[in-house]
Structure 1
Amino acid sequence: MVAQNTTAVELSRFPVADLELAVETHNPDGRPALLFSHGFGQTRGAWYGAAAALAKEGCRCVTFDCRGHGQSDRVADGAYRMEQFADDLIRLSKAQPEPPILVGASMGGLIGMLVAGEVRPSPFRALVLVDITPRWEPAGVERILGFMKAHPEGFADYAEAADKIAGYLPQRRERKTEEQLRPLLRQGTDGRLRWHWDPALLAGVVNDSERYQPRLLAATSKIDVPVLLLSGARSDVVSSDTVNEFLLRVPHARHVEIAQATHMVAGDANDAFTREVTRFVQDLTRCGPAESKANLQVH
């Protein structure tokens, strides 16, 4: 990693099997390459602070909106499946100038685990999982889905949306501004503002998630690239039990708990999150690809 004084940002549309994804590349000529995959109901904007900081350190940082999210296309028939998200991730990885380090939060991490365990050779150089393990705490997931389902009628204006988010994320000191909310909301023909993600996602990926858990557990045991698991100390989605089970399945993984962070680790404690990712990337850079796994067996 070599620090850069300036970093360019490129916006593009990336074609996958049946649609196009919105992609943002920070410092296109940098290396190593990092590919950021966001959580369910989020956008590439969730990574902006971390991607910008790591790009200044010399990394190529690629963020994107998953299908059905943000500015990426929605599936025409409304049928979303985990395999589609996995295929998108594989295609994006192979489009990079070198195998990227995948940074995946929540849904993005689950898809990353699935791909890292099932695809050979692995399309990733390494894996950073953000507050997700192959087995999760149902109560925490239900809380998230409850908020996502709570406002099907949308919001009258940005101020109302900011109020609801502030109530859902009381740990955040700063209230969302209209500028921050614009990428997260779409205005309908009725003038109401609704979330950027396709409502059909709730009936697709979410309802099928339990069915994928045995497959996720099996895939996780086959991950053979360096792994960093970052969990929030106040998370209700992962717990000491799910973390310990993960470490038994992936004994070479490193685990770091981020103090004061909930499930939304990057948003709650972006400086601490970025610092841990930077350390992990620096360790990988110091190690050669062949020796990186052995040298990162630290818990």
Structure 2
Amino acid sequence: MTARAGETGEEGEGTMNETTPPRGRARDRAVFTGAAGNRLVATVAGEGPRVALLLHGGGQTRHAWAETAERLAAAGWTAIALDQRGHGESEWPAEGAYAFPDYAGDAAAVARTVAAERGTRPVAIGASLGGIASLLALGAGAVFSGLVLVDIVPQMDPRGVAHVQGFMRARAREGFASVEEAADAVAAYLPHRPRPRSLEGLRKNLRLDPDGRWRWHWDPRFLDGPRSVNTDWAAVGEALHEAARNLAVPSLLVRGGSSELVSEAAARAFLEMAPATEFADIAEARHMVAGDRNDAFAAAILDFLARRFA
């Protein structure tokens, strides 16, 4: 970690949710160095002796974890919510390196820094992209003390993946004329969620470009570049299965009960590969579990952490 400075402000839970933590609560802004020397920006909440590293899903930013981080801090943890490469304030690698092993390398690099500076190995809490990165990193020897996978397993439903990536890709380069137009697109994609009263949470997931268009706060090459997140999925899948079979740290799988990516059968298959892994199924939540049902999600992970890391 190379720098820290105080920050305050409102942050939306989930990629497209208006939920905000209490106003004026101070946080630290931290800068880490990734596996390729790339700059990674994080928000740090809490001052507890135990550390949780929060890794968001594809197309999200660290602000997706705002409410979860506050709850972890209140429970005595230090929560580090990271903007992953190509997302939020973190660096867009010049070479467009966004394959899953690149994200795993960053997760491992941050974990090593946390362990060296704080004298404790972090628990990785990874949603979707962040969960894949965490599991791959563990398989390669990363220094995590525990793992929470949020609606992600090695065997994802390809229809669900196509649906999520289709939404992300649809306006990635064209952008939106206004934040309100982006909110309309989100409402059409997530009809099960109440439309937010405020657009401030959504605004944090957008950037205003010089041409006056609002675009998602992530590099479009993440999906369509020369080394995108879809690169060599067969090899990635094999590595994930191997990592699951060899999981040796306390672990929890949290599934959205209405997930479009993780079926009940896929969750059971993962638990058979990693039989020591605990399981929580969050009713009425889809793929973005923390955004859909943060109350139930936070309760599940806090119970797990309290029992396994007391």
Q: Same fold judged by TM-score > 0.5?
A: yes
Residue 248 of structure 1 aligns with an amino acid whose one-letter code is E
Q: Note the residue ranges of structure 2 that are not aligned, 5 or more in a row.
A: 1-23
Partner of 1:54: 72
Q: CA deviation at 1:117?
A: 2.1
Q: CA deviation at 1:8?
A: 4.6
- 1:270-289 aligned within 5 A: 270-286=294-310
1:41 equivalenced with 2:59 (yes/no)? yes
Q: CA deviation at 1:209?
A: 5.4
Structure 1: distance between partners of 2:290 and 2:242? 27
Structure 1: distance between partners of 2:230 and 2:136? 18
Partner of 2:229: 206
Tell me the alpha carbon deviations over residues 251-284 of structure 1, each in whole angstroms, 9 at most, x when there is no partner: 0011110000000100000010000111011001
Structure 1: distance between partners of 2:124 and 2:33? 19
Partner of 2:9: none
- 3-state SS of 2:53 partner: strand
- 3-state SS of 2:229 partner: helix
Q: Bigger shift: 220-229 or 173-182?
A: 173-182
- 3-state SS of 2:73 partner: helix
1:24 equivalenced with 2:43 (yes/no)? yes
Tell me the alpha carbon deviations over residues 76-123 of structure 1, each in whole angstroms, 9 at most, x when there is no partner: 12232322211211111122221111100001001111112221xx41
Residue of 253, 259, 284 corresponding to 1:235? 259
Partner of 1:127: 147
Tell me the alpha carbon deviations over residues 117-170 of structure 1, each in whole angstroms, 9 at most, x when there is no partner: 221xx4111100000001100000100011011113110101101111011111
Q: Bigger shift: 171-180 or 58-67?
A: 171-180
Residue 283 of structure 1 aligns with an amino acid whose one-letter code is R
- 1:236-275 aligned within 5 A: 236-275=260-299
Residue of 103, 107, 116 corresponding to 2:138? 116
> Percent identity over the alignment?
40
- 3-state SS of 1:228 partner: strand
TM-score, normalising length: structure 1:
0.89
TM-score, normalising length: structure 2:
0.86
Residue of 16, 19, 29 corresponding to 1:11? 29
Runs of 4 or more, structure 1, over 4 Å off, are: none
- 3-state SS of 2:253 partner: strand
Residue of 93, 116, 137 corresponding to 2:157? 137
Partner of 1:172: 193
Distance 1:62 1:160, change over 3 A: same
Structure 1: distance between partners of 2:101 and 2:238? 15
Tell me the alpha carbon deviations over residues 36-57 of structure 1, each in whole angstroms, 9 at most, x when there is no partner: 0111111111111010111011
Q: CA deviation at 1:231?
A: 0.2
1:224 equivalenced with 2:244 (yes/no)? no
Structure 2: distance between partners of 1:251 and 1:177? 43
- 3-state SS of 1:46 partner: helix
Q: CA deviation at 1:7?
A: 7.0
- 3-state SS of 1:80 partner: coil
Q: CA deviation at 1:175?
A: 2.1
Q: CA deviation at 1:176?
A: 6.5
Partner of 1:197: 218
Structure 2: distance between partners of 1:202 and 1:225? 31
Structure 2: distance between partners of 1:86 and 1:132? 15
- 3-state SS of 1:271 partner: helix
CA RMSD of aligned residues (A): 1.5
Q: CA deviation at 1:177?
A: 2.9
Contact 1:7/1:26, CA 8 A, preserved across alignment = no
- 3-state SS of 2:126 partner: strand
Tell me the alpha carbon deviations over residues 183-206 of structure 1, each in whole angstroms, 9 at most, x when there is no partner: 211112211111110011113333
Residue of 162, 182, 188 corresponding to 2:209? 188
- 3-state SS of 2:182 partner: helix
Residue 94 of structure 1 aligns with an amino acid whose one-letter code is R
Structure 2: distance between partners of 1:243 and 1:79? 29
